[in-house]
Chain A
Amino acid sequence: MRRLLREPLLHFLVLGALLFAFYGWLHRGLPGGADEIVVTRAQVQNLEAQFARTWQRAPAPDELRGLIDNWVREEIYYREGLAMGLEHDDAVIRRRVAQKVEFMGEAQPASPPSDADLRSWLEAHPGKYRAAPRYSLRQVYFDPQRHGKRLDADIEAARTALQKGADVRGDSTMLPAQMADAEESDVARQFGTAFAQALEGLPIGAWQGPVKSGFGLHFVQLRARTEGRVATLDEAREVLQRDLLYSRSEQAKAAYYAKLREKYKVRVDDVEQTSQAR
C-alpha cells in the first residue's frame, strides 16, 4: 500500500482527476457551453449602467430587452466569426491581441524601493541627479548688428570703462541685466546653452568677456557661483524612486518578451539574417 502511495503514476492520476474536477467545477458556473448563451446578471447590470451613462436614466423594460437582444446578437455573430476563423489575418485584431499580451507583461511599480536601492541607483547614475550650478551675475549686452563696423571699437571702449568701474549700459534688450542665484538651466533659457556653459570657467568678481550668446556679445560679471554637485538622496528621493520604478518595469517587460521569444524559432525568408525583432 505504501509503495502504491509512492507510485508516480497514481500521483499523476490523482492530480489529473483533481484538475479535471477543478475545471469541471469552474465550467459548471460558466455562462453556457458552445451552443448556449447565458446573459448573466452582471452583464445585464453592465448594459443598464451603460444606458444610464448615455441617457441619464435607467432603461425602461422594453429598452432593456432591446439592449439584451443586441448583446445576444453581437455574441452570436462573435462566436460564429470565431468559428469561421475570421479573427485570423485581421491586422486590427492581431495588433489588439498582441497589445493585450504585451500589457500583461508590464509589471506595475512595486512598493517604494528601499533607501539602499535608491542609493545604489543614484550611485550608478550620478550625472542624472545633479543639483545644477547656480549663478549670480550681471551682464552688459552688445548687439553686433546695431554696431556694425564700430563693434570692435565699442567693445574695447566698454571693456576699458568696466575695468575702471564705470557704469556701462550696453544695448537695450529684453535680457535681464542681472540674475540672482539662477540655476544654469534658467541662464540657458534666457541666453542660450553656449552662454550658460561658458560661465563655468569664469572667475568671480571682475568683468569678463565678451561672452557669446544666441543674441550677441556680453560682458559678464560673476558675483557668486554655487558649484554643481550630485544631489543627495533626500533631495532626489522622489525622482530616484520614479526613475528606478520605471527602469524596473522596463526590465520586466523586456524579460517577459525574452522569455516568450525563447519558445520560438524565427526564420525570415529573403532576408539575410534572422529576425532581430525586439
Chain B
Amino acid sequence: MNRNSMLCLVLAACALAACSRSPTDAGTTKPQAGSTAKPAPAVTQSAHPERVFWGDQHVHTAWSADAGLAGATLGPEEAVRFARGEKVKSSTGLDAQLHRPFDWIAVTDHSDGMGTINELQAGNAEFMADATAKRWSGMMAKGGDEALKAKKEAVSAQATKSLPKVFTDPKWMVSAWEKTVDIMERYNEPGRFTAFIAYEWTSNGENGQNLHRNVIFRNGSDKTRATPPLTTFQAMVPGRAGTDPESLWKWLTDWEAKTGGQALAIPHNANMSNGWMFRQARYDGTPLTPEYAQERSRWEPLVEIYQFKGLSEAHPKLSPTDEFVREGIWDTADLNGNAKKPGDINHEYAREALKNGLALQDKLGSNPFKFGMAGGTDTHNALSTGAEENNFFGKFATDEPSAHRWKDIYKKEQAGLRKGWTLTAAGLTGVWATSNTREALWDALKRKEAYASTGPRITVRFFAGFDFTEADVAGDLANAGYSKGVPMGGDLKAAPAGRAPIFLIAAAKDPEGANLDRVQIIKGWVDASGKTHEKIYDVLWSDNRKPGTDGKLPPVGNTVNLDGPTYTNSIGAAEFKGIFKDPAFKAGERAFYYARVIEIPTPRWTAYDVARFKVKMDSKVPMVIQERAVTSPVWYEPAKP
C-alpha cells in the first residue's frame, strides 16, 4: 500500500469512526512494555520444588482466526485477566470468572493467520500515537468547520512533504505478535503469576491430520518480540513441507541460536491425527532416523493428553483391561472429519507411544517418544474453564453455556455428527517448580517434572529409586525422594544387582474438591523379542477395599446425586502415601512407570447443565466422571549388554 492510499484509508477510517474517542485518550502513545526493562524483583527459589503451580498451556483468543470467526470477542488480555481470576464478559455476554485463579498461563493463538484480523487496529494505534494525526482526528471528531480545517491542513502537509512519518513509514503495522508479547509482559509478575510468551504452530498434515504444537518460550520480550512465530506456510527445511514438524524443530534450532533463548513444543490432539502424531515414520513417509528421534525428544518434552477435544492417555481397545479410559474418547475422525482407518489409533495415544518409543530406541539409538504429560483446554473463547465442571464455558464462543449446547452439532464427521455433549471439560497442567517464574516453570516443563490433570488440583509426588524404605514414607518424603531417587520425568539408571525399582508416592486431594479413589502405577516395557507390554498396578486405595479374585479392586462407590447435582466426600481418601516395588522387574528390560491418581465419582459438566437449564438429555450422555491426575513417567534404562 503506498502512502497516499494509506492516508486515504486513515482518513476514511476516521470519518467512518466519527472519531468518537473520548478526551482521556488524547495523546496516546505506544505501550511501553518491552522497551522499559523493569528491575527483576527478587523471587525466592526453593532448593527443591515444594509446590505445584497450576495452569493452562493451551488458550486461544479472538486473535486466532478460527476463534474470532466463530464469534470470540475476547483477546489475549482478557484471557490473561480471566486466568488471574478477574471477572470478564464472555463473548456471548455472560459474566465469567474462575472459582480459583491459575498460577500461570500460556496464550497460544494460531500463528497461521495471526494478525490478519487486527492489522488495522495496530496500524490505527501507530496513527493515534502521532500528535498531529491525533489532533486531526480530534478535529474531525468535532465535524463541521473543524473537520474541514483538518482536511485542509492535511492537504497542505502533503503538498509540503511534511506529513507525519506515521503515514509514510512502510513498517507502520505493529503485528499481533508484538501486541501479544507486550500484553504478556504487562501481566507477568515473577513470584506471583506467570504469563508465558507462546503460540500454536498449527499443522493439519496433508488433509486434516492434527499435528499441532504449542510453542512455549522461556524468555521475555527482549528475545521473543522481534521474531514472529513460524507458520506452516513457511518451510524451514529445504525440500520438506511447511506442515512437517521437522520444519518447526529447525525453526526452534535457528531461533535459539539467533536469540540465545530457549523454547519447547507440546503436541496435542494426537487422537485427531488419524495415526500421524506418533507414526513410526517421518512426515513424508520415509523411515525414522536417529536424528529424528533426537530432535523430537529434544524439542517435545511433553504431550498434552487432556483437553476439550478428548482424552488421549490411552485407548480402551489398546488397553482393554483399563477400566478408567473408557470415557472421553474421541476416536471417530481427524480434525477435518475424515474417518479413521483401522490401525490409526495405534499411533494416537500417549501410553502406546511411550511403549513404542522404548522399542524404537533399539533401532534409533534414542527414544523419539520420550515425553511427559501435560493438560490444556484448547479453549477458543479465551476462557480456560477445563478445570471446573460446574463453570464450563465450552470450546468456541458458540459452545458457551446454553440450554441447547449439549445437542448442538459440534462437527460434521464422515462417521456422523459429533454433538456438543462429547466435549470434555478437561485440561490443566501441574508443575513442580522452585518458584512461580517463567524460568523456573519452563525449566520444570523441560525436565518433565510436570503432570496432567483433567481438572482437579490433585497434588502428586512421584519418585523412583532403588533405596527407598518405609521410613522414607513416614518422614520427609520429598527430601528422601530428591536425595535418594529421581522425580517424575527422570531416568533410572541400570539396577544394582538383585534390586528392583521402588517408587515413593504421595497424593493429596484437591483441597476444594473430591476425595481420592486410588493411586495406580502404570508400567510399560519392551521384552527381549522387541514386543511391548503394559501393566496397571493398584497401589494405594481407600475404604479398606479388598481386590477380587481377578485381582481387580472393586469400584469405590458413587455418591453423586444428580438432583443438585452434588457428591459427598463420605467415600474415598484425602491423601495417600506409600512405596511400591515393581514385583515383576527384569533388569534387562527397558521400561517406564507413571502414576495415576483417580478421584471418586463427581458430576460431569452435562449434569450441571441439566440442573441449570432444566433440560433433559439423551440417556447416552454421561453425567458422572472420575477425574484424575497422570504424572510424567520415569524411564528405566538397562545396562548396556
Chain A residues engaging chain B, CB cutoff 8 angstroms: 15, 18-19, 21-22, 25-26, 29-31, 40, 42, 53-56, 92, 95-96, 99-112, 143, 145, 172-175, 188-193, 195, 213-216, 238-239, 242, 246, 248, 251-252, 255-256, 259-260, 263, 278
Contacts and interface: CB of A to CB of B under 8 A. Distances in A.
B8 A252 contact: no
A193 B512 contact: yes
Nearest to A192: B511
B8 A42 contact: no
A213 B186 CA distance: 35
B242 interface: yes
B18 interface: yes
Contacts of A15: 148, 152
Contacts of A174: 459, 461, 477, 506-508, 575, 577
A259 B18 contact: yes
Contacts of A92: 69
Nearest to B33: A109
Contact of B69 (A22, A31, A95): A95
B234 A53 contact: yes
A107 B511 contact: no
Given A191-B511, A193-B512, 16 more contacts: A18-B151, A18-B155, A19-B151, A26-B158, A30-B2, A30-B8, A31-B2, A103-B121, A107-B25, A107-B28, A143-B574, A174-B577, A215-B511, A246-B77, A246-B81, A255-B20
Nearest to B507: A174
Contacts of A192: 511-512
B121 A107 contact: no
Contact of A213 (B21, B25, B30, B511): B511
A74 to B, nearest CB: 15
B290 interface: no
| Residues of B contacting A: mostly | mixed
A87 B71 CA distance: 19
Nearest to B573: A145
B5 interface: yes
B4 A26 contact: yes
Nearest to A191: B511
A104 B13 contact: yes
A256 B20 contact: yes
Interface in B60-77: 62, 68-69, 71, 73, 77
Contacts of A260: 17-18, 20
Contacts of A175: 508
A108 B513 contact: no
| Residues of A contacting B: mostly | helix
B233 interface: yes
Interface in B13-31: 13, 16-18, 20-22, 24-25, 27-31
17 contacts: A19-B151, A21-B155, A29-B4, A30-B4, A40-B2, A54-B233, A95-B68, A107-B28, A109-B28, A143-B573, A195-B511, A213-B511, A214-B574, A238-B38, A248-B25, A255-B21, A256-B17
A172 B477 CA distance: 11
Contact of B16 (A40, A104, A107, A215): A104
B29 A111 contact: yes
Contacts of B32: 112
Contacts of B128: 107-108
A215 B577 contact: no
Interface size range of chain B in the complex: 35 or more
Contacts of B170: 42
Nearest to B99: A193
A212 B542 CA distance: 21
A215 B17 contact: no
Contact of A54 (B69, B234, B510): B234
B17 to A, nearest CB: 5
Given A107-B128, A259-B18, A31 B121 contact: no
Contacts of A105: 17, 20
B22 A251 contact: yes
B120 A104 contact: yes
Contacts of B542: 145
Given A101-B17, A104-B124, A192-B512, A54 B242 contact: yes
Contacts of A193: 511-512
Contacts of B507: 174
A137 to B, nearest CB: 16
B125 A108 contact: yes
B235 interface: yes
B481 to A, nearest CB: 12
Given A42-B170, A174-B459, A252 B151 contact: no
Contact of B187 (A22, A101, A242): A242
B522 interface: no
Contacts of A31: 2, 5
B40 interface: no
A97 B29 CA distance: 26
Contact of A143 (B151, B187, B575): B575
A108 B16 contact: no
Nearest to A100: B120
B509 interface: yes
A241 to B, nearest CB: 9
A25 B155 contact: yes
A252 B17 contact: no
B625 interface: no
Contact of A103 (B2, B18, B24, B118): B118
A111 B27 contact: yes
Contact of A252 (B25, B51, B510): B25
Contacts of B17: 101, 104-105, 256, 260
B42 interface: no
Contact of A110 (B4, B25, B158, B508): B25
Residue among A104, A143, A215 with the most chain B CB within 10 A?
A104
A56 B238 contact: yes
Interface string B139-153: 000000000100110
B287 interface: no
A278 B90 CA distance: 12
Contacts of B77: 246
Contacts of B16: 101, 104
B247 to A, nearest CB: 11
Contacts of A40: 2
A189 B52 CA distance: 10
A191 B5 CA distance: 62
Contacts of A248: 24-25
